[in-house]
Amino acid sequence: MSRRKIIAGNWKMNVKPSETAALVKAVAEATKDFASVEVVCCTPAIDVPAAVAAAAGTHVGVGTENCHWEDHGAFTGEISTGMILDAGAKYVIVGHSERRQYFGETDETVNKRARAAIAAGLTAIVCIGETLEEREAGKLNEVIERQMKVGLAGVTAADCAKLVIAYEPVWAIGTGKTATPDQAQEVHALIRATLAGLVGAETAETVRIQYGGSMKPSNAAELLAKKDIDGGLIGGAALKAADFAGIVAAANA
Ligand code: 13P
């Protein structure tokens, strides 16, 4: 089964609307020769219009970093899937560990957001991953399986066309510590096996599983060479077009 590699930037809270067009254009230019790879910039919601305008006519897709599950209503500070689509974005990150850690996101709310995103026709990049404490307590498998089963409850085989899973070990995010390719592959295989139990083995083979956590040009190739690593969700290195393009080049190889 060949799965198209997907490299997505997660800009987090780092780029202003006025800085967005330049970064998207630089990413488009620097990655234009790597057509085998799906390239996405997930930006703060307020940057989406500028990102969509700058990406028009290029191969770069635009997404954002969170969505609410209701269509509209009294949810101050939240953004609906309809708003994201209306602004021209096609992807949304759901359940990032920073949202779980700082904003009370749970597996249940991740599930609601993911299902709403998929139902609306967005591609949901659903993030899972263990903390260092959980890994050291021997709870890795338990945590991953719970995040998958609760976070993806009710997601059908048909929905999987709009699903990307990102494995982001919390201890590797922004720390410069990367999971080794073997450590990452082991968890990616567990994720695919757990997904097979939810939607069937055939469908599970089609779903892309990204690795995220200090991925950079110097370590991307060895991670992406692993059987179940189908791309990357990139934080720090997505803020410089040359670094991001180095990762896309590794995925294109
Ligand atoms: P870093 O690449 O900065 O470690 O961030 C990874 C991440 O959280 C992407 O969502």
Tell me, in angstroms, the distance from the centre of ligand 1 to residue 184's CA: 15
Whole-model pTM: value is 0.98
| One-letter identity of residue 5 | K
Distance CA 152, CA 166 (A): 13
Residue (of 65, 63, 83) closest to 73 by Cα position: 83
Question: Cα separations (Å) of 214 from 35, 40, 219, 228, 237?
Answer: 24, 17, 9, 18, 8
Residue (of 148, 153, 90, 98) closest to 123 by Cα position: 90
163 φ/ψ angles, rounded to the nearest 5 degrees: -120, 130
Stretches in the chain below the pLDDT threshold 50: none
Quote the crossing angle between the two packed helices 107-120 and 140-151, to the nearest 10°. Answer: 40
Tell me, in angstroms, the distance from the centre of ligand 1 to residue 83's CA: 25
Q: Is 96 a catalytic residue?
A: yes
Q: What pLDDT is stored for residue 176 in this prediction?
A: 85
Identify which of 233, 240, 243 to mutate to test ligand 1's pocket (most ligand atoms within 8 A of the CB): 233
Q: What pLDDT is stored for residue 174 in this prediction?
A: 87
Q: What pLDDT is stored for residue 1 in this prediction?
A: 62
CATH architecture designation of domain 6-252 = Alpha-Beta Barrel (3.20)
The tokens 């609306």 sit on which residue?
120
Binding pocket residue ranges, ligand 1, CB within 6 Å: 10, 96, 168, 173-174, 212-215, 233-237
Residue (of 25, 3, 42) closest to 212 by Cα position: 42
Domain boundaries in the chain?
Answer: 6-252
Q: Which of 65, 96, 105, 130 is catalytic?
A: 96
